[in-house]
Chain A
């Protein structure tokens, strides 16, 4: 019995992972205030640690080919304890979904439409995501090709146009930030983008060539990570000390572009590209939540659950957060520590138990 009838190819998985990671560009702004001019070092470190932990997730997926995360938990921990672990993962996914819904609402509210009620933006956005999720993973995977080309072009063009404003002395002194703050910043970047590759354990089983999983996931992470690194270097070189102060360094640095008073105010390009990527992130998380619930309760189709879960996620994000400062504070100091349990300890524990029990038999 298969819940999802579509299949994605290995290159589609690669582009999906790449655009999923590149969508973390706006949430990277949480890390600039911690590790000021060394943020690009933190992105590089997070990329390497993220690749290391992606190997753990891929090992878990390759051990049980054709099974999603929820079915893997049932096989490893037994039916009862497995359900408990699956519910913890579902909590992680649905809370990240509500954070992203709040984040997109807050972003549009701050930069594009200041007078609109936030709930309206969330409803319009999640209706679009609900439509994509009802159509299946194949449809979400197909849009990634366009999305990643558009966003990579935007990053490259803005980088090229900003070259005359860049001062490379802004990178000096390197390693002046205390090592504790560099670790904290790396951890925040892992939390907002690289560790979330865990959610692809719900997508990998629907790939048509299971042998190429490792290659496509790692290449996708490299594509996304290089995009993030380029954008971070652009922001620091263009803004300098200001990048630790402004709300969204990516938009503020692109706002500096001024070529003959003709090509100006290009930040709306970045906003459009990032909204496209946030749509992909939200759809993948939404899909994982709906598919996970359908598999725990053993349904024949996940489609009826899409709209109730969407309404639930919108309400959850409205009651969870009051202001963007609350989200900022908890993402900087608290939530990265909370999610260590889900991203690092639980997958390692699962892999260890699977090795000890010599699964699959």
Chain B
């Protein structure tokens, strides 16, 4: 599973990066690598079985238990 994930990310890098370097789009390269590394860390943690906190449940908790606003 981890091998598949890493090869998928290497595929994305090989697909995007060469044309960025050829055109000297350094700013694009920086933003691309920041988002790709965030996505890689999240996908890797989810793949090896670490329980990440769910943002949707966080929003539910915030609205329901802190603001006490819900239909019921």
Q: Which of B35, B42, B62, B71 contacts A184 (CB 8 A)?
A: B71
B2-45 interface bits toward A, Cβ cutoff 8 Å, 1 = contact, 0 = none: 00000000001001100010000101110110011011101100
Contact between A334 and B43 (Cβ–Cβ < 8 Å)? no
Residues of the B chain whose Cβ atoms lie less than 8 Å from the Cβ of A315:
39, 42-43, 46
Instruction: Using CB atoms, name the residue of chain B closest to A306.
Output: B16
Q: Does A335 contact B (CB under 8 A)?
A: yes
Q: Does A330 contact B (CB under 8 A)?
A: yes
CB of A90 to closest CB in B, whole Å:
12
Instruction: Using CB atoms, name the residue of chain A closest to B15.
Output: A307
Contact between A338 and B12 (Cβ–Cβ < 8 Å)? no
B46-60 interface bits toward A, Cβ cutoff 8 Å, 1 = contact, 0 = none: 100000111111011
CB of B71 to closest CB in A, whole Å:
5
Using A184-B71, A298-B27, A304-B20 as known contacts, say yes or no to A335 and B59 having CB atoms under 8 A apart.
yes
CB of A139 to closest CB in B, whole Å:
19
CB of B1 to closest CB in A, whole Å:
11
Q: Identify whether the interface residues of B are mostly helix, strand, loop, or mixed.
A: helix
CB of A125 to closest CB in B, whole Å:
16
Q: Does A337 contact B (CB under 8 A)?
A: yes
Interface residue tally for chain A (C-beta within 8 Å) = 34
CA distance A335 to B56 in the complex (A): 9
Using A299-B28, A301-B25, A330-B60 as known contacts, say yes or no to A308 and B54 having CB atoms under 8 A apart.
no
Q: Does A256 contact B (CB under 8 A)?
A: no
Using A311-B39, A319-B42 as known contacts, say yes or no to A337 and B32 having CB atoms under 8 A apart.
no
Contact between B71 and A333 (Cβ–Cβ < 8 Å)? yes
Using A320-B56, A334-B64, A337-B69 as known contacts, say yes or no to A304 and B46 having CB atoms under 8 A apart.
no
Q: Does A246 contact B (CB under 8 A)?
A: no
Residues of the A chain whose Cβ atoms lie less than 8 Å from the Cβ of B59:
330, 334-335, 338
The 4 closest A-B pairs by CB, nearest first: A308-B35, A320-B56, A311-B39, A312-B39
Q: Provide a sorted-by-A list of 28 A–B residue pairs whose CB atoms are within 8 angstroms.
A: A95-B55, A95-B56, A180-B71, A293-B31, A293-B35, A298-B27, A299-B25, A299-B27, A299-B28, A299-B31, A304-B29, A307-B12, A307-B15, A307-B16, A309-B35, A311-B40, A311-B43, A318-B46, A319-B52, A319-B53, A322-B54, A326-B56, A326-B57, A330-B59, A330-B60, A334-B59, A334-B70, A335-B59
